[in-house]
Amino acid sequence: MLWEYGNGDYQTQYILIGDFQQPVVDNPDLPQLIGNCEILLDNIPTALDAFDGVIEGVANTVFPITDPTITEILWTYTDSNGNSISQTQEVTIENDEDPTPTVENLSSLENNCLVELSIPTAMDACGNLINGVTDNYTITDIGVTEVIWTYMDVYGNFSQQTQTVTITAELPEVNQANELLQVLTIGGSIQ
């Protein structure tokens, strides 16, 4: 801007017009979000900017939130001039239901030497597939063994299921045993 004082003197004045103020959040205390298995995006928090008016926050995560380790959302409000402010919102994802086995009753297994177990599955309340866990996946002990399968979800909920395994270790019939004994003692052959 050029100023003239009437006596032939002039003065130049520079005027800087800009927006250097941060937006102001509309709600400084965002409510905690609690969800069963997930958090949906229902309401986007806002801030008021002197230049742009109402600005919606941008979250540092993707919705829906299904990861129970996320406990906080960082909302950032940025105006068209690059001024920004952030605030956090607490998140709690809950699930208190035990997983449900995919097969209601596991089949009993039987063999004469060993049984290699197939891993059964369960579904948690959030729709996630869970593999069963047990102490021993190969059973060789003669007799009946009760295998206990445990299904645990990421929330610490668990259920158990039992499977019966029988190892018979059948001995050869008496005639076959006598023939085998003859072979071993006199060097004969089995016919």
pLDDT, tens digit, for every residue of 136-190?
999 999 999 999 999 999 999 999 999 999 999 865 555 565 666 666 666 555 5
Local confidence band at 87 (pLDDT 50, 70, 90 cut-offs): very high
Task: State the CATH number of the domain containing residue 110.
Answer: 2.60.40
Query: Residue 45 is part of which domain span?
Result: 22-94
- Report the pLDDT averaged over residues 76-95: 95
For residue 187, is it within any domain?
A: no
* Cβ-based neighbour number of residue 86 at 10 Å: 15
For residue 2, is it within any domain?
A: no
For residue 3, is it within any domain?
A: no
Quote the number of domains for the chain.
2
Chain center to CA of 122:
15
- The tokens for 112 are 């004469």
For residue 11, is it within any domain?
A: no
Chain center to CA of 159:
18
- Spatial CA neighbour of 124 closest among 93, 146, 148: 93
Q: Choose one of 45, 75, 94: the last residue of a domain.
A: 94
Strand pairing of 109-111 and 158-167? parallel
